[in-house]
Amino acid sequence: MLNETFFNEFTIRLNRPASQVIDDLADKGVLGGIPVSRLYDDPDELQNLALVAATECTTEDDMDALVAGLREVL
């Protein structure tokens, strides 16, 4: 995790490109966050970063599914 303090979202560093990880999660029915490379023009150094948010609509089941999904695909 890159930022120790946050409001509604935080950034994590993965061991491979975030877009691949998030696509793999999507195949499992989990929308697991946003590859930071989609937000910036110079994506290379940011390619392993993912931005993850929770809202008041996110349930505990959703969070458990994300954690379980990440364990599987990483």
Partner 1 sequence: MTEDIKTISGNRGLQLDEPLIFEQGRAGRCGVDLAEITGTKNRLGGTDRTAPIGLPDLSEPQTVRHYTRISQKNYGIDAGFYPLGSCTMKHNPRVNEKLARLPGFAALHPLQPLSTVQGALELIDTCATWLKTISGMPAIAMSPAAGAQGELCGMMAIRAALTDRGDARKRVLVPESAHGTNPATAVACGYAVDSIPANERGRVDFDAFMEKLDGDVAAIMLTNPNTCGLFENDIIRIADAIHDAGAFFYCDGANLNAIMGNVRPGDLGVDCMHINLHKTFSTPHGGGGPGAGPVVLSEPLAAYAPLPFVVHGENGFDLVEHQQGAGAKSFGRLKGFHGQMGMFIRALAFMMSHGSDGLAQASADAVLNANYLLAELKDTLSPSFEGPCMHECLFDDSFLKDTGVSTLDFAKAMIDEGFHPMTMYFPLVVHGALLMEPTESESKETLDQYIATLKGLTAMARAGNTEHFQQAPRLTPWRRLDETTAARHPVLRWQPAKKEAKAAE
- The amino acid present at 59, given as its one-letter code, is T
Q: Is 38 in the site for partner 1 (CB under 8 A)?
A: yes
Note whether 74 binds partner 1 by CB under 8 A: no
Count CA atoms closer than 13 A to 66's CA, side-chain side. 16
Least distance (Å) between residue 72 CB and partner 1? 17
Contact 50, 37 (CB under 8 A): no
Angle at 64 between CA 50 and CA 25, to 5 degrees: 45
**Interface residue with partner 1, options 22, 46, 49, 52 (CB under 8 A):** 22
Judged by the rule CB under 8 A, the positions of this chain that interact with partner 1 are 4-7, 19, 22-23, 26, 31, 34, 38-39, 41, 43
